[in-house]
Amino acid sequence: MKIIVGLGNPGTKYLRTRHNLGFMVIDKFSRQLEMECIQNKFQSLFCKKKVGEEEIILLKPQTFMNLSGIAVKEAVNMYKCQIQDTIIVCDDLDLPLGKLRIRRTGGCGGHRGLESVAASLGTTDFPRLRIGIGRPKFKDTSGFVLSVFSAEEDVVIAESLEEACRALKTWVSDGIEGCMNKYN
C-alpha cells in the first residue's frame, strides 16, 4: 500500500495558488489513474484504487495547510502504512519555479504543512516530493504562497505537474531510490 498526500488549502479561494501545488498534483494524478478524490475520510478528500499489484491511496487534507499532519496521521494509522510508503507532495519556496526535488527524508525548510506532518508523525523520516515556486522578490512570503501563478508561470507549472505524476508512478513501482535517481 502506498499513500500519496498532496498538501494545500481547501476551498475555491485557494484553488490555483502556489501553496496548492500538492493538491494540483493529486488532481492530475487521480485523473490519470481514473480516480476521483471526492470521498470524505481522514479529514481529507480521499480515493483508493488498486493499480497493478499496489493499492494506492490519494489524500488532499481539508484541515488547511498548517494542520495537514492530523489527516496524514489518521490515514497512516488506519492502514498501518509504513512511513516510507507515504509520500508528501508540496510546494517549495527555495526551489526555482517548476523544479522537482525528491527526498527520502529531510527537514521541513519552514514549510508549515511539512512541519505539521512531522509533528503528527513524530519524525521527518518520510519521503517528499517538492515542486519549486521560487522565492518572491519582496519579503511577504505568506502573500506570495497564496498568490496565483501568472500565465507565463502556468506553462512551467503544467510541465512540472506532468513530471511530478511521472515521478509518483516511478515511486510506486520502483521506490524512493528509483524515483530519486530518475528525477533529481
Residue 157, φ and ψ in degrees, nearest 5: -65, -40
State the catalytic residue, choosing from 19, 111, 128, 130.
Answer: 19
Fold of 2-183: Rossmann fold (3.40.50)
| pTM beyond 0.75 | yes
Residues comprising the chain, all counted = 184
The residue whose grid cell reads 502504512 is 81
Three-state SS for 88?
strand
Residues 139, 60: Cα–Cα separation, whole Å: 29
19 catalytic residue (yes or no): yes
pLDDT in single tens digits along all 184 residues of the chain? 999 999 999 999 999 999 999 999 999 999 999 998 888 989 999 999 998 889 999 999 999 999 999 999 999 999 999 999 999 999 999 999 999 999 999 999 989 999 999 999 999 999 999 999 998 887 778 889 999 999 999 999 999 999 999 999 999 999 999 999 999 9
Task: Specify the DSSP class assigned to residue 130.
Answer: E
Residues in Cβ contact with 115 at an 8 Å cutoff, skipping those fewer than 6 apart: 66, 69, 108
The packing angle between helices 68-79 and 112-121, to 10°, is 40
